[in-house]
Structure 1
Amino acid sequence: MSETPVTSHRLLVGERRRLIVELVERQGRATVEELANKFGTSAVTIRADLDALARNSAIVRSHGGALPSANDTPLNIKETRWHAQKLRIGQAAARMIQDGETIILDSGSTTVEIARQIRQTKFESLTVITNALNIAMELSGLSQVRVMMLGGMLRQTSYSLVGPDAEQALAKLSADRLFLGVDGLDPEVGVTTPDPLEAALNALMIRVSRQTIAVLDASKLGQRSLSVITPVRNLDIVISDNSAPTETVEALRAAGVQVVLV
């Protein structure tokens, strides 16, 4: 039986492509025919969508369809995925921040939502350490927020600074809370990211922070990436969305991690 199209009216191109990426990631693959039926459009249109998404490294083209991207996906693509969930996670994370604290905001499409919430919150004083150019820009111009930018080598896919210079600068600092954005969280393997230099800097962020809070949408749970940042036992809190798999949530709680679902 063919699937009912996802909507009865014509989707904007960008919205359709975002939904295609989410479907491919959720299912592990998708065919042109399946996507054409899903979105009520032609196979020619779907092929054009897949070609455009593949050029941006959002998916991998396969014969007759698409597979999830195996690459370090650019941040501007990540920000379009699961945005409603990331917004709720950002709001929940921002509520944990106390006036006068020093926090670390790691780079990522979820942590930037925390920065946007900080802009809307009336803190009297806050210090934010970050290795992310876009987060520093998001918080610029706020007189009550002191931003400390780590140096280092720029990773263009994530707008983040990494490497020995970033680590040397961070080693001289301390923070009350770290909000850690991750690409994968597997209860057995730990917290992971595609880039070894990013993983090394993230591990140091954990060491200089009194509390570590991982922020990630549920699609990252159970996923594994190249470089391990830390075992899950070194996390204090995980904030995710309410579609998180029950067995993963239970495994995290069994490891002593507080899990907040929004």
Structure 2
Amino acid sequence: MSKPSPAPPPKLLVEERQRQIVELARAEGRVTVEGLVERYGISAVSIRRDLEYLEQVGSLKRSHGGAVPAASSQLDVPLPIKETRRLPEKRRIGEAAARMIADGETIILDSGSTTVEIARQIRQRKWKSLTVITNALNIALELSGLPSVRVMMLGGMLRQTSYSLAGPDAEQALSRLTADRLFLGVDGLDPAVGVTTPDPQEASLNMLMIKVSREVVAVLDATKLGQRSLSVIAPVRSLHVVITDTSASKVHADAIRKQGVELVLV
């Protein structure tokens, strides 16, 4: 009696598959088209399309028959891939952050895969009046069409990996504004170094966001704790609140609290 053929691998969202391909390349040093076809049960054409996209956004460098990690892949992961990581945690962080917002406030939503969850929570609530300043195209689109929410978009140069705007034009527009609260998305929070991001222009804009805001709330999942990215935004003591998930280590939690910052674990 012949054995039944193995069940095909489960279907993944394109972004989930691309995230896994990047992580596999980093772990093993390379990936091959043949190996990925066997792993995911899809055509070589689809895999090559994935590798082409990942090379365009700087996550991989294509080679004959496959791809290797790009030198910059540790620095700036494309937003669609970031959004598939630790999604339940980011949703809880977004819910906790949105509860801090009061009717009539002006807030800044920085770009990022966690801050977009705050925007999605804002959509679920009824507001008499709310003003949201953002440098993120996807956040502006998320909040479009809400009659009681006024969205102010900063100008500047588009960063394709994060759907964000940065640069002198964005800083000039922001310098004329003030906000009650900033929700800051970061790629790393090292208690000794500060909060960091891969892009120097975005770091400069984030510094100004902190300056024009009465309260600064950093939102990040616990995998970012202890991590450092290329550009320092500000020391941890510049923050008022850090919202992260309950997997945060006691060492990191204590180090944040020692700097006088309120830590919220969700």
TM class, shorter-chain normalised?
0.7 to 0.9
Which residue number corresponds to residue 256 of structure 2?
252
Alignment of 1:200-239 (within 5 A): 200-239=204-243
Structure 1 unmatched ranges of 5 or more: 1-7, 33-41
User: Do residues 108 (structure 1) and 112 (structure 2) align?
Assistant: yes
Which of residues 170, 174, 178 is equivalent to 1:174? 178
Sequence identity (%): 63
User: Do residues 45 (structure 1) and 38 (structure 2) align?
Assistant: yes
User: Do residues 153 (structure 1) and 151 (structure 2) align?
Assistant: no
Amino acid at match of 2:235: P
Contact residue 107 and residue 160 of structure 1 kept, 8 A? yes
Q: Residues 43, 121 of structure 1: CA spacing in aligned structure 2 closer, same or farther, 3 A cutoff?
A: closer
1:116-135 CA distance string (max 9 Å, x none): 10000111110000111111
Contact residue 19 and residue 81 of structure 2 kept, 8 A? no
User: Do residues 29 (structure 1) and 27 (structure 2) align?
Assistant: yes
C-alpha displacement at 1:153, in angstroms? Answer: 1.1
Which residue number corresponds to residue 138 of structure 1?
142
Which residue number corresponds to residue 12 of structure 1?
11
Structure 2 unmatched ranges of 5 or more: 1-6
Contact residue 57 and residue 71 of structure 1 kept, 8 A? no
C-alpha displacement at 1:165, in angstroms? Answer: 0.9
Partner SS, residue 117 of structure 1? helix
Contact residue 140 and residue 153 of structure 2 kept, 8 A? yes
* Segments ≥4 residues shifted beyond 6 Å: 21-25, 47-51, 59-62, 65-68
Q: Residues 61, 219 of structure 1: CA spacing in aligned structure 2 closer, same or farther, 3 A cutoff?
A: farther
Contact residue 103 and residue 127 of structure 1 kept, 8 A? yes
C-alpha displacement at 1:78, in angstroms? Answer: 0.9
1:145-184 CA distance string (max 9 Å, x none): 0111111111111111111111111111100000000011
Which of residues 164, 171, 175 is equivalent to 2:168? 164
Contact residue 22 and residue 59 of structure 2 kept, 8 A? no
Q: Residues 19, 158 of structure 1: CA spacing in aligned structure 2 closer, same or farther, 3 A cutoff?
A: closer
The alignment yields a C-alpha RMSD, in angstroms, of 2.9
Amino acid at match of 1:78: K
User: What is the aligned residue count?
Assistant: 244
Which residue number corresponds to residue 3 of structure 1?
none
Amino acid at match of 1:198: E
